[in-house]
Structure 1
Amino acid sequence: MQSELAFSADDLALTRLAVSPMWEVVTSFRLLITGSPHPVHRPWLEQVRPRVAAAGLDAGWLAQLIPASGHLADFLTPSPGEPAPTLDAELAAIRATPVELVLHDIDLLGEPRRAAMRADPESHLAQVCAEIETYWELALAPYWARIRAVLDADVFHRARQVAERGTAHLFNDLHKSLSWDDNTLRMVRRQCILSRETAGRGLVLLPSVFADTVLTWSCPPEPPQLAYPARGIGTLWEHRPVQRAEAIAAILGRSRTLLLTELEAPASTTELAHRTGISAAGVSQHLTALRDAGMVSAHRAGRSVLYARTAIAESLLGTAA
């Protein structure tokens, strides 16, 4: 099966790149519920899967709207109105989805258990957004600095491709299932047919660290979306040695530098105290100072709080992608 998306000069002029938190929500959740291991994302899966299960999200609305394969509920990935919308902005767009579009997506999913959504779509849409916020805090927010660095690097690379070698080279390099010829983007082995007749003008290209294939979205008059696997995910979860630790310790102090080093993966106060030998009270005090300085972020995970390095800390430690 093959889709063909024709481009006029106006369509090319309206083609753009964006980073979307909701595309990462959708693709990462699908990866989680497959239950299978992954050669790259195994460290993330091992950390996140128990949290998601403990919160009951593996049996909630998201599990119904994001099946392990096949069609996804398109209203979960609204068209990004800017290059890098926040999760809050995308959730606002989801809440504002017309009821008829929500019901259309539910019908395409075709499962009897979605009858509750059809009976009261507005109320249940609010529940879906609440689940997304919980999932974000558990599964993505603690890792967002790393994920965002990879996505931004991909966008920079693609923009440079267009500047140096043209749009045709960009399209031909995105994914093996895509090819560009005669002002037409062709997609092979697609489950859903995408054509200019059934899509809006232009195209939004969205890199994703969790997508393992090309995914498309179309809801005229909005431009169609094409999510593709981002470059550089092979090293996303690899251990990255801290650079200039002694020099950083001279400024921040050894205890705070040690805590930042230990936050290679998100951790709680108790875990950090156990690993570093610093008292729980001391860890809490240092984390508060680091949080006030914008170097760590805190994320609720059930009864505990997970701390994670921010992009500022990643850059300071010399580990930014």
Structure 2
Amino acid sequence: MIEIEFGMEDVVRTRFALSPLWEVVASVRVLKGADEQGLHRAWVEQVRPRLAAADADLSPLLDLVPVPPRPPWAGYVPGFLCPPPTTPLPSLAVELATVRATPPALLRTKADVPPARMAALRADPAGELGRISDAIEAYWELALAPYWSRILTLLENDIRYRAGRLVAGGARQLFADLDPQVAWAGGTLQLEHRTARGSRPLDGRGLLLVPSAFVWPRVFSVLNEPWQPSLRYPPRGVGTLWESRPVPVSDALAGVVGRSRATLLAELAAPASTTALARRTGLTPGGVSQHLTLLRTAGLVSAHRAGRQVLYARTRAGAALVAAAGSG
């Protein structure tokens, strides 16, 4: 059991943030076996063959994320690979800039990383950090970018809920249902941990709370210098993340953008290729391509290359339009 000690200044400085970079690291852990319950099976089944077929060297990233230990406690992840974000919603590019600028003194870890990889980091920090960042960008485009709108909606909804809890009942209510491994008691946050023990004073730095789609059923903690103390926890509703629900085509939306484009927006609740969309909608591949081009121009759809195919996904604006039309 770890006891995280709060002072008055720590309560004031406790905040939320999201981290695309952490989702990269946590999702690699899932691909390596940290999903015993199969929560992310649908995502894994789509992404694993895509990564295998990709013409990209992902080893600088994959080497730094160890195979999850058994029994299933969290294990270690190199801190320099995923430092806690300093702003509420940084872009992946901003977080990678931090990685590229990591001081050589911080290139150390207790994680089970191949010695050759750590030796390469120590021998050429700038070059190796650049290669790691390039691998992260390639992985992101293949594995997470097509799904980011869906993931981001889940994470932002959790933060809105938590903020309401904090306003309604302070820190006690905020932490009351954060996770079964976390409990608030008399100015101390108690965190269940299989190997670590003792008190961890925050010393006025506050606590950073980062909801993460890929950590369930665990809570990851960062409590050592030089990073801000952080908890990465599963958001509410994570079990529904990959559910495939039929989305009816709204007559109201069809009246604005046309029936075919409204149908494509409805079908893009999950990323799909032109061929798949043509098969599901009955439109010709050429027609689908033409409509998707118009939707991309309007900022309602994004495209991401995945190996030899291009996957399309609704943007946040597209998802909001579909939701608004459906509720109307």
Q: Same fold (TM over 0.5)?
A: yes
Separation (CA, whole Å) in 2 of partners of 1:177 and 1:14: 22
Once the two structures are TM-superposed, the CA of residue 279 in structure 1 deviates from its matched residue by 2.6
| CA distance 1:167–1:198, change in 2 (3 Å) | closer
Aligned partner of 1:160 among 155, 160, 164: 164
Once the two structures are TM-superposed, the CA of residue 275 in structure 1 deviates from its matched residue by 3.0
The residue aligned with 2:93 is: 88
Separation (CA, whole Å) in 2 of partners of 1:167 and 1:184: 10
Q: Are the aligned partners of 2:10 and 2:206 in contact in 1 as well (CA < 8 Å)?
A: yes
Tell me whether 1:112 sits opposite 2:115 in the alignment: yes
Give the TM-score of the pair, scaled to structure 2: 0.89
Give the TM-score of the pair, scaled to structure 1: 0.90
Separation (CA, whole Å) in 1 of partners of 2:15 and 2:126: 32
Separation (CA, whole Å) in 1 of partners of 2:195 and 2:311: 39
Once the two structures are TM-superposed, the CA of residue 125 in structure 1 deviates from its matched residue by 0.9
Once the two structures are TM-superposed, the CA of residue 190 in structure 1 deviates from its matched residue by 4.1
Q: Secondary structure at the match of 2:96?
A: helix
| CA distance 1:274–1:240, change in 2 (3 Å) | closer
Tell me whether 1:174 sits opposite 2:173 in the alignment: no
Bigger drift between 22-31 and 219-228 goes to 219-228
Alignment of 1:162-241 (within 5 A): 162-192=166-196, 195-196=199-200, 201-212=205-216, 213-241=218-246
Deviations 1:24-51 (A, max 9, x none): 1111110011186644322111111111
| CA distance 1:39–1:187, change in 2 (3 Å) | same
Separation (CA, whole Å) in 2 of partners of 1:57 and 1:184: 46
| CA distance 1:174–1:318, change in 2 (3 Å) | same
Q: Are the aligned partners of 1:199 and 1:218 in contact in 2 as well (CA < 8 Å)?
A: no
Q: Are the aligned partners of 1:200 and 1:223 in contact in 2 as well (CA < 8 Å)?
A: no
The residue aligned with 1:247 is: 252
Once the two structures are TM-superposed, the CA of residue 59 in structure 1 deviates from its matched residue by 6.3
Q: Unpaired runs of 5+ in structure 2?
A: 69-74
Residue identity matched to 1:318: A
Aligned partner of 2:296 among 291, 307, 310: 291
Q: Are the aligned partners of 2:17 and 2:89 in contact in 1 as well (CA < 8 Å)?
A: yes
Alignment of 1:244-283 (within 5 A): 245-283=250-288
| CA distance 1:307–1:57, change in 2 (3 Å) | same
Count, aligned residues: 317
Q: Secondary structure at the match of 1:179?
A: strand
Aligned partner of 1:143 among 131, 142, 147: 147
Once the two structures are TM-superposed, the CA of residue 243 in structure 1 deviates from its matched residue by 4.7
Q: Are the aligned partners of 2:66 and 2:113 in contact in 1 as well (CA < 8 Å)?
A: no
Separation (CA, whole Å) in 1 of partners of 2:203 and 2:59: 31
Q: Are the aligned partners of 2:19 and 2:84 in contact in 1 as well (CA < 8 Å)?
A: no
Residue identity matched to 1:73: P
Q: Are the aligned partners of 1:14 and 1:202 in contact in 2 as well (CA < 8 Å)?
A: yes
User: What is the RMSD computed on CA atoms of the aligned residues?
Assistant: 2.4
Runs of 4+ in 1 over 6 A off after TM superposition: 56-59
The residue aligned with 2:41 is: 42
Q: Unpaired runs of 5+ in structure 1?
A: none
Please identify which structure carries the higher helix content: 1
Q: Are the aligned partners of 1:200 and 1:221 in contact in 2 as well (CA < 8 Å)?
A: no
Q: Are the aligned partners of 1:199 and 1:219 in contact in 2 as well (CA < 8 Å)?
A: no
The residue aligned with 1:318 is: 323
Deviations 1:91-143 (A, max 9, x none): 111111111102x22x6545323233332222111111111111111111111
Tell me whether 1:126 sits opposite 2:125 in the alignment: no
The residue aligned with 1:306 is: 311
